[in-house]
C-alpha cells in the first residue's frame, strides 16, 4: 500500500473487506469455471494472498488467509478446498458479520465472561441471560445465540443446575469468552431431546474396517496424509466430503481458524444438519480416534 493512502485506510474497512472478499470469490470462480485449475491460475490466487499479507494479523483476514494458504500448500486447489473458501467468504461478507449484529455478538461474549467471573453460574444468572437473549433475538442467525439458548432451556428444564450441568456450563462459557482468532471450540454442548450433550460423541466406539472417515480441521498429532494412512491400514476409507453415508467426521484438536467466527466450519455444519435429519454419522474428537488406533496397535 502506498504511504499516501495509509491515513485513509481506517475509514474504509467495510468497503475494503467487501472488495477483497469479492475479488477472492471472483478469482476462484474464474479459475475453476472450466473445472481445470492449472499452475498459472494457482499463481494468480497466490497474488491475492501476497497483496493481503500485511493484513493477516487483523480480523477477519486472520481467519481467511490461513484457510487459503492451507488450501494452496500442496499447489493444488481441490473441489472441497474451493467450497471451504467460498463458504467462509459468504459468511464473512454476509450482513451477520457487520453492523449491529457484530457489536451485539461482542457484547454477548462479554456477558458470558461476566456471568462466569465469580466461578459459579446460578439459576438467576441463566434466567437473566435468557432475558438478554430474548431482547436480542435479531442475533438468532449468529453463532452462538441458538446454541446458548438451547443449552439454557435444557439445563433449566428442571429449574435447577446440578453439578454436571454446572461444570458443562462453565467449560462452555469460559472457552467461548477466551477464544482467540486462531483457536476454536471443538466440543460445545448441545441439547438433544432435553438432554445436554456434547457435539462430539462421548467415549465413542470406533471401528475401522469398511467404515468411512472424513477429516476436518488440523490434527494436533498427524498430518492429514499420515492420519489417512493409519485409518486405511485398518481397512477404513477416507473421503473428502460429508454425506449421509459417512460414518465418522473427525474433528481436529487444532480446529480450523475460520471456526472462530463461522461456527465450526462447513463440514461440521453440514454433519450436524444431516444428523438432525436422521443420518447416523458420528462426530468424534481426534483424541478418541488416536485411542482407537492405539488399541489396534497402529
Give, to the nearest 10 degrees, the angle between helix 13-31 and helix 61-72: 20
191 has pLDDT over 80: no
The pLDDT score that the predictor gives to residue 112 is: 82
3-state class (DSSP) for residue 209: coil
pTM tops 0.75: no
Q: Assign residue 9 a region: left if phi > 0, alpha if psi is -120 to 50, beta otherwise?
A: alpha
Looking at per-residue confidence, does 124 or 200 come out higher?
124
Cα–Cα nearest to 188, from 177, 210, 180, 66: 177
pLDDT at 187: 52
Summarised one tens digit per residue, pLDDT across range 141-170 is 666 777 788 889 889 988 889 998 998 888
* pLDDT score of 248 more than 80: yes
Q: Which helix (H) or strand (E) holds 249?
A: strand 248-251
If you average pLDDT over residues 226-231, what whole number do you get? 95
* Separation between Cα atoms, residue 212 and residue 237, nearest integer Å: 5
How many CB atoms within 10 Å of residue 234?
A: 16
pLDDT in the model for residue 297: 92
Domain boundaries, the chain: 3-93, 99-181, 212-295
Widest CA span in the chain: 62
User: What is 212-295's CATH number?
Assistant: 3.40.50.10190
Amino acid at each position: 500500500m502506498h504511504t499516501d493512502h495509509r491515513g485513509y485506510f481506517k475509514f474504509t474497512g467495510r468497503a475494503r473487506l467487501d472488495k477483497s472478499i469479492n475479488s477472492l470469490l471472483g478469482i476462484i470462480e474464474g479459475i475453476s469455471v472450466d473445472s481445470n485449475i492449472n499452475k498459472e491460475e494457482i499463481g494468480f490466487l497466490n497474488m491475492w494472498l501476497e497483496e493481503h499479507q500485511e493484513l493477516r494479523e487483523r480480523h477477519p483476514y486472520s481467519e481467511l488467509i490461513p484457510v487459503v494458504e492451507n488450501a494452496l500448500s500442496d499447489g493444488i486447489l481441490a473441489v472441497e478446498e474451493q467450497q471451504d473458501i467460498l463458504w467462509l467468504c459468504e459468511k464473512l461478507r454476509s450482513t451477520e458479520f457487520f453492523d449491529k449484529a457484530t457489536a451485539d455478538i461482542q457484547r454477548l461474549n462479554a456477558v458470558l465472561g461476566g456471568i462466569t467471573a465469580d466461578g459459579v453460574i446460578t439459576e438467576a444468572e441463566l434466567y437473566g441471560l435468557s432475558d438478554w437473549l430474548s431482547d436480542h433475538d435479531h442475533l438468532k442467525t449468529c453463532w452462538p445465540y441458538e446454541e446458548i439458548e438451547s443449552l439454557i432451556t435444557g439445563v433449566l428444564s428442571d429449574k435447577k443446575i446440578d453439578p454436571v450441568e454446572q461444570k458443562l456450563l462453565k467449560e462452555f462459557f469460559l472457552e467461548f469468552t477466551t477464544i482467540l482468532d486462531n483457536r476454536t471450540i471443538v466440543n460445545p454442548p448441545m441439547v438433544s431431546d432435553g438432554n445436554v450433550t456434547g457435539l462430539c460423541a462421548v467415549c465413542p466406539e470406533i471401528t475401522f474396517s469398511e467404515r468411512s472417515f472424513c477429516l476436518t480441521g488440523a490434527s494436533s498429532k498427524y498430518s492429514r496424509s499420515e492420519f489417512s494412512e493409519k485409518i486405511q491400514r485398518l481397512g477404513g476409507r477416507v473421503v473428502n466430503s460429508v454425506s449421509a453415508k459417512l460414518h465418522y467426521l473427525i474433528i481436529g484438536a487444532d480446529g480450523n481458524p475460520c471456526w472462530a467466527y463461522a461456527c465450526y466450519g462447513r463440514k461440521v455444519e453440514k454433519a450436524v444438519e444431516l444428523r438432525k435429519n436422521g443420518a447416523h454419522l458420528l462426530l468424534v474428537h481426534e483424541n478418541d480416534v488416536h485411542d482407537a488406533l492405539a488399541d489396534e496397535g497402529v
